[in-house]
Amino acid sequence: MYKLYWAQGSGAMAPQALFEEIGAEYEKIVIDFEKEEHKSDEFLSVNPMGQIPALVLPDGTLMTETAAMLVHIVDRHPGAKLAPPAGSGERARFLRWLFFLASNVYPTILRVYYSERYSTDPSAVEGIKAAAEADLNDQFEILNDALDPGPYLLGETFSAVDILLWMLIQWHPVPTRLFEDAPRIKQVAGLVQARPAIARTWREHEEN
């Protein structure tokens, strides 16, 4: 069985939602940020970065990095058809947007919310946040364009990359403004949210 190190409102939302979509069995190992359990020696032995999520595979292999987990999970469960076949043009498109989200949008959102982490100079924090917000607007504009004709990032086919996009939409600092500026983002968010497996996952995280 998979073991998912989990915290409410964390990046564990995406692999959890993918497990729910597939119907795969997994165990949640809850890490309490308020009690700083992510800084404990026990958890740091699992993920030295102290970050959630971390995933232990059925064979005991440890994974970190959300996007890597999603790729591995879809490859282990090809029957779920949540990613195109390896080597295909559509797979290249899938990987392009998955890693765009993971390497651009995800860290930009962190810069918005945790600007103070990105400089030793307190006077620089506001500038870091403003630059991150501008970058985030540009990134979602690119994604909005990529959703044409949509409704998903792979056109008419729902895939795991839409799950990661959905999670990051939830974290946008002003989603109402995002939806006004990017109507296709609003559409895909609604479509993904309406899926029963995604809705179940969201209910566990929205209380945060």
Average pLDDT, the chain: 96
Whether 191 shows a pLDDT value over 50: the answer reads: yes
Confidence band for 206, pLDDT divided at 50, 70 and 90 = confident
- Average pLDDT of the residues in 168-192: 97
- pLDDT, residue 193, reads 97
Q: What is the largest CA-CA distance in the chain?
A: 52
9-18 tens-digit pLDDT: 999 999 999 9
Q: What CATH number labels 89-202?
A: 1.20.1050.10
3 backbone φψ class: left, alpha, beta (φ>0; ψ -120 to 50): beta
Confidence band for 185, pLDDT divided at 50, 70 and 90 = very high
Whether 205 shows a pLDDT value over 50: the answer reads: yes
pTM of the model as a whole = 0.96
Residues, the chain: 208
Selected from 3.40.50.11260, 3.10.150.10, 3.40.30.10, 3.30.465.10, the CATH number assigned to the domain covering 2-81 reads: 3.40.30.10
* Residue ranges covered by each domain of the chain: 2-81, 89-202
Residues with Cβ < 8 Å from 84, sequence gap 6 or more? 90, 91, 93, 94, 154, 157, 159
Alpha-carbon span 55 to 206, nearest angstrom = 22
Whether 157 shows a pLDDT value over 60: the answer reads: yes
